Amino acid sequence: MEKLRGYFTKRGVTLTATVLTAAISANSVQAAPLGLAATVTASAAKGTLIPATLTTLVNTTLKTMTWLPFKFALGISMGILLAGGAVAVYSSLPHKVAAAKFEFEADGELTVQQIHGDKILLQESERFEVSVKDDKWFIVTKPHPGFQPAGMVRYEVGSENDAIYQVSYLDKKTLAPTSLNTAMGRIETATVPENIQGNQVAELWLAFASSHYLMAQKTESSSQSIT
């Protein structure tokens, strides 16, 4: 718990142990596969209201931490950074529509700022590459060395046939000697990537690869709940 709290503190977020344990307990079902979450959860306080932003933050952290030895995992920020709140938008697969035919590739730069109040807590910069062909897409983000999140050097995510595949390649220099893996991956049945902070894939998907998804929706320029 102290290590976890230290992780957030390093990134400018001060959390009490009670707040952390409550947030962890609320998210430990998903985080359960390895030992850490259950161990922490066993002492978790109940009944504390936690903003969703913090919940997401801890949840994502736990997901990351379950993938690697604890010691190393503290240094990784694959999917999270500061006071992050996921923007929950799309929650199920859209109806398929006749795919429009188009293709393109784009490269560029991203700048990410984490802000609290009037202060910029963190600013990061990274390169991106996007490839789109009809309803298939592939996105690569590469943090600049000076802004490199601890442990991650390259992130790739792509989608085919209503599944999203993603891989984070880890900086081998930061790996613990006992680490068996040098990359972390994920598969899910979905057409829309999660808004996991740290890789900016959701934003890039929205900008370049959301055509078919939006095409499948009934209306635009109007408020609606997307299901």
Partner 1 sequence: MIDSSMRNEGWEDAARWKRFDGEPRLPQMVDYINEKDIGVNGWRRLFIPLPPPFVKGFTRASYTVDSVTNTGGLTLPTGFSFKEYYVERNTQPAELKVMRIVLATVTSVRTVCERTNFIPTLTEATYIGDDRFARTPKPIAELPYMVTNGIWPTTNVQWLKDLYQQYQLHHELDVPCAHD
Site for partner 1 in 139-178 (CB under 8 A): 156-160, 163, 165-167, 169
Tell me: does residue 1 bind partner 1 (CB under 8 A).
no
Task: Compute the C-alpha angle 184/187/190, nearest 5°.
Answer: 140
**Do residues 80 and 67 touch, judged by C-beta distance below 8 A?**
no
Toward partner 1, which CB reaches closer, 98 or 104?
Answer: 104
Q: Is 160 left (phi over 0), alpha (psi -120 to 50) or beta?
A: beta
Nearer to partner 1, 9 or 134 (CB): 134
Residue type at 41? T
**Which of 97, 150, 206, 216: binder of partner 1 (CB under 8 A)?**
206
Three-class SS of residue 181? coil
Report the alpha-carbon distance of residue 7 to residue 74 in Å, rounded: 6
Report the residue from 11, 12, 94, 110 that binds partner 1 according to the rule CB under 8 A: 110
* Choice from 95, 146, 189, 218 touching partner 1 (CB under 8 A): 189
Q: Does 17 bind partner 1 (CB under 8 A)?
A: no
- For residue 68, give both structure tokens: 């690697």
CA distances in angstroms from 113 to 110, 117, 219, listed in the order given: 10, 12, 32
CA distance 7 to 110: 24
DSSP 208: H
Binding test (CB under 8 A) with partner 1, winner from 9, 16, 18, 111: 111
Stretch that binds partner 1, among 8-16, 77-85, 144-152 (CB under 8 A): 77-85
Residue 124 Cβ, how far from partner 1 at the closest point, in Å?
A: 10
CB of 16 to partner 1, least distance (A): 15
Q: Which is nearer to partner 1, 7 or 86 (CB)?
A: 86
Q: In the chain, how long is the greatest CA-to-CA distance?
A: 54
Is 214 among the residues that bind partner 1 (CB under 8 A)?
A: yes
Residues in 51-70 at the binding interface with partner 1, rule: CB under 8 A:
51-53, 55-56, 59, 63, 66-68
If binding is defined by CB under 8 A, does position 105 make contact with partner 1? Answer: yes
Q: Which of 80, 86, 143, 171 binds partner 1 (CB under 8 A)?
A: 86
Question: How far apart are CB 10 and partner 1 at their closest, in Å?
Answer: 18
DSSP-derived secondary structure for 77-127? -SS--SS--------SPPPP-PPP--EEEEEEEEEEEEEETTEEEEEEEEE
For partner 1 (CB under 8 A), the number of binding residues is 109
